[in-house]
Chain A
């Protein structure tokens, strides 16, 4: 298996622009997680889905952030409009199970820079 796939790997954009990050989970996994990592705050959960349904989005910073999972093999995280403080590495992870005690497999991350 190719593992969790994220694109793009790097994104540089200007403040105010829309940014879309993409994730393809491991085939057969039914939970998908979006995380953000910054120097100041470390790793934080933004939102997670189980069976394509958002379960907890309490970590989404504000209305500028939105996430969708239209099917079991694809998810997007969108920031509109982007701001310099959104600069971070965004990780997608997936797991099989849905309840608890399931190993999570991380993608390589998307490094976002907002100028």
Chain B
């Protein structure tokens, strides 16, 4: 069973700061997913990556397969980025996701 750990659990930052959320997993995976859950509860897929780096607007996700580690970065953070960010490891050969416990991000104006 894949163990997925995220850090930090909670993060409060000032608007404009550069944000980094970390995710590590214990067993080799086919892909790593980053999800965003807004205060209203809805879950949105941000990234799915199996190597290298992906960028979407102010969000950047990276993964190091050898080190079994992924990071989610937010540049020029904004209060609307306040949400819970969840990483999930996808097993080889199927679509099962094992989730981290999430990082609650609060951006203060």
Binding site for B on A (CB under 8 A): 31, 33, 42-45, 48, 50, 55-56, 89, 91, 93, 95, 97-106, 108-109, 111
B93 within 8 A of A: yes
On chain A, the residues within 8 Å of B50 by CB distance are: 101
Number of interface residues of B (CB under 8 A): 26
A42-B102, A91-B43, A108-B42 in contact; A101/B31 too (CB < 8 A)? yes
Identify whether the interface residues of A are mostly helix, strand, loop, or mixed: strand
Q: Do A45 and B41 touch across chains, with their CB atoms under 8 A apart?
A: no
Q: Do B95 and A42 touch across chains, with their CB atoms under 8 A apart?
A: no
- Identify the interface centre among B41, B92, B101: most chain A CB within 10 Å of its CB: B41
Q: Do A98 and B102 touch across chains, with their CB atoms under 8 A apart?
A: no
B23 within 8 A of A: no
- Identify the interface centre among B92, B95, B102: most chain A CB within 10 Å of its CB: B95
Q: Do B45 and A105 touch across chains, with their CB atoms under 8 A apart?
A: yes
Inter-chain pairs besides A101-B50, A104-B33, A108-B41, 12 sampled, C-beta below 8 Å: A42-B99, A42-B101, A43-B88, A48-B96, A89-B41, A100-B30, A100-B92, A100-B93, A101-B31, A104-B97, A106-B43, A109-B43
CB distance from A46 to the nearest CB of B (A): 11
A100 contact from B41, B94, B102, Cβ within 8 A: B94
Q: Do B102 and A31 touch across chains, with their CB atoms under 8 A apart?
A: no
